[in-house]
Amino acid sequence: ISICRDLPNIEVITFSVNGISDLEPLNQCQNLSELYLRKNNITSLNELFYLKNLPRLRVLWLSENPCCGSDPHRYRMTVLRNLPSLQKLDNQAVTEEELSQALVDGEEITAPPARRSTENGCPESTESSAAESTTETESELLNFSLEETNKIREELGMKPVPRDKFSSFSPRETDCNRKKRNNVLNAILLLMKELDAEGLEIIQQTVGRRLQAFRKKELQEE
């Protein structure tokens, strides 16, 4: 998610099912209008502090994170009190009545969360993450990652990635390596939206050379 610091003009970000816990890199994305973060590891609603100054944010999907807690009303009211410009939260339209009620039932967030000593990528195991890993199957993780990747590709006018090609990982790969690979793919696709025609042509030429090298290597191995 740190790649977002270098994408101030990005408008749509899809990072569902990626083990994300820190939203600080998003506070630079002033053009962000849609943010999809379901099924991550966001433990505190104080992370909303980093989204409060994003003037164009209209759609947020934050459900199925630890920060949602056991009281859905309090969670929704707190989000709407701090992000009153939202038009849709967790795939549900925001009403004027909810925005008014949020001023009463929601909690105002005035400071960022306390810093945690976790590394980007694969954080250390905790009880919550261990519990999630038992309920989240590998197949479901890949389905969400494929869906998010193809959403970005559709916005770029690209063909969707077939499931058989997206999920053809080596059995020896760990979940961490698999997620990193998906994150790199999504980051590249997001960065492509920032390029002009000349930049895209350079990317096309570079990819073509790498593909030729891979095919040559496969022929040699055969």
Q: What is the mean pLDDT of residues 198-207?
A: 81
* Per-residue pLDDT at 153 exceeds 70: no
Long-range contacts of 134-143 (CB under 8 A, 24+ apart): 136/17, 136/39, 138/175, 140/17, 141/17, 141/175, 141/178, 141/179, 142/166, 142/167
pLDDT of residue 137: 46
Opening angle at CA 185, ends 83 and 188, nearest 5: 75
Q: Are 32 and 11 in contact (CB under 8 A)?
A: yes
> Which of the pair, 129 or 39, is modelled with greater confidence?
39
Q: What is the pLDDT of residues 117-134, one digit of tens each?
A: 544 444 444 444 444 444
Residues in the chain: 222
Domain segments of the chain: what residues?
A: 2-105
Of 169, 102, 170, the residue nearest 142 (C-alpha): 169
**Distance from C-alpha of 93 to C-alpha of 51, rounded to nearest angstrom:** 19
Does this model's pTM top 0.95? My answer is no
Chain-centroid distance, C-alpha 78: 21
Q: What is the pLDDT of residues 74-122, one digit of tens each?
A: 999 999 999 999 999 998 999 999 999 999 999 999 998 886 554 444 4
Look up residue 154 and give its amino acid. Answer: E
pLDDT of residue 41: 92
> Which of the pair, 25 or 219, is modelled with greater confidence?
25
How, if at all, do strands 59-61 and 34-36 pair? Answer: parallel
CATH topology of domain 2-105: 3.80.10
164 band by pLDDT with thresholds 50, 70 and 90: low
